[in-house]
């Protein structure tokens, strides 16, 4: 089976840097994705790591280490609008491409 | 514009009724998914489909049914067997298994049992 663990909530101040971790248990997967969801809205794609290492997209970066079964999303220069829930997700090799999400991390950015 | 559309945005159901939520995409994606989200919770997979005329149960399929007769469409029926159907339902689509990781979501349907 597949499972992903994230912290339930994180608080940071504007302008700071925050890291949201994701640890997973899966027998094999194509890559680790990250999504952002504002309250009441639909999740939107942020980043994808197919290979180990760091992927950078503007203020957001994502990291994957398959040997450690671990990844993280790094948000820099935090803005109030970054307050949202963040989900990691994997699609497994097995089980017909099942796309599974973690429980989500609620990020609160304070002034 | 390409995208994924869910309808209706809000839906009210009486106890004992079946209701069908619509999901249509024009992104030419092979894979489609249905998720349920309860307040303050993550996304739980109900059903998914990688190809037309084929679909698999997710983690919480009981009380739900789907069909995939066309590539563009993946409707979800919430049956009377689903004991606690009030939730936010999200449909998503993506390229086929093994391809790029991005999934696109519809705006969701908020179902309330009255």
Average pLDDT, consecutive stretches of 10 residues, N- to C-terminus, chain B (114 residues): 90 92 95 93 93 93 97 96 93 77 92 92
d(C-alpha B59, C-alpha A14), whole Å = 38
Report the residue of chain A nearest B59, measured CA to CA. Answer: A100
DSSP letter at A95 equals G
How far apart are alpha carbons A8 and A85 in whole angstroms?
A: 9
Picking from A110, A111, A106, A70, the residue whose alpha carbon sits closest to that of residue A90 is A70
| Touching A: B residues 32-71, CB under 8 Å | 33, 35, 40-43, 45, 48, 50, 56, 58
Q: Which residues of B touch A100 (CB under 8 A)?
A: 45
Token code pair at residue B90? 């999200």
User: What per-residue confidence (pLDDT) applies to B99?
Assistant: 55
The model's pLDDT over A6-51, given as tens digits with 9 standing for 90+, comes to 999 999 999 999 999 999 987 777 789 999 999 989 999 999 998 9
Q: Is the pLDDT of residue A2 over 80?
A: no
Contact B102 A100 (CB under 8 A): no
Between A3 and B78, name the one with better pLDDT: B78
In whole angstroms, give the CA distance from residue B48 to residue A110.
38
Structure tokens at A40: 């009441």
Q: Confirm if B60 and A100 have CB atoms less than 8 A apart.
A: no
Distance from CA of A20 to the nearest CA of B (A): 15
- Nearest to A62, CA basis, from A42, A77, A46, A80: A46
Distance of CA B107 to the CA centre of its chain: 11
**Contact (CB<8Å) A33/B42:** no
**Residue B96 DSSP code:** P
Q: CA B83, B87, B91, B92 torsion: positive or negative?
A: negative
Averaged pLDDT for residues A87-102: 82
Return the residue matching tokens 């606690």. B84
What's the confidence (pLDDT) of residue B89?
A: 98
Q: Give yes or no for a cis peptide into A66 (omega within 30° of 0).
A: no
The answer to whether the beta carbons of residues B90 and B35 sit under 8 Å apart is: yes
pLDDT (tens digit, 9 = 90+) per residue, A63-80? Answer: 999 999 999 999 999 999
From A31, A42, A102, residue closest to B101, measured CB to CB: A31
What does the alpha-carbon distance between residue B38 and residue B36 come to, in Å, rounded to a whole number? 7
- At residue A5 the predicted structure's pLDDT band, cuts being 50, 70 and 90, is very high
Residue of chain B minimizing CA distance to A29: B98
Q: Give yes or no for B97 touching A (CB within 8 A).
A: yes
């Amino acid at each position: 089976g597949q499972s992903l663990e994230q912290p339930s909530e994180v608080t940071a101040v504007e302008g700071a840097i925050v890291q949201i971790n994701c640890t997973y248990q899966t027998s094999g997967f194509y890559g680790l994705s990250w999504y952002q969801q504002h309250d009441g809205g639909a999740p939107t794609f942020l980043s994808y790591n197919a290979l180990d290492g760091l992927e950078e997209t503007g203020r957001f970066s994502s990291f994957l280490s398959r040997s450690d079964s671990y990844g993280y999303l790094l948000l820099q220069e935090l803005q109030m609008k970054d307050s949202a829930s963040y989900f990691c997700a994997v699609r497994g090799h097995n089980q017909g491409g099942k796309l599974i999400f973690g429980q989500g991390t609620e990020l609160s950015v304070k002034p | 514009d390409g995208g994924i559309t869910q309808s209706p945005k809000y839906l009210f159901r009486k106890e004992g009724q079946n209701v069908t939520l619509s999901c249509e995409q024009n992104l030419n994606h092979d894979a489609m998914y249905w998720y349920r989200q309860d307040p303050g919770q993550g996304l739980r997979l109900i059903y998914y489909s990688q190809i037309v005329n084929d679909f698999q149960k997710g983690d919480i399929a009981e009380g739900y049914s789907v069909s995939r007769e066309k590539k563009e469409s993946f409707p979800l029926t919430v049956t009377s067997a689903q004991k606690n159907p009030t939730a936010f339902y999200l449909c998503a689509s993506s390229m086929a298994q093994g391809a790029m990781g991005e999934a696109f979501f519809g705006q969701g349907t908020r179902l309330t049992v009255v």
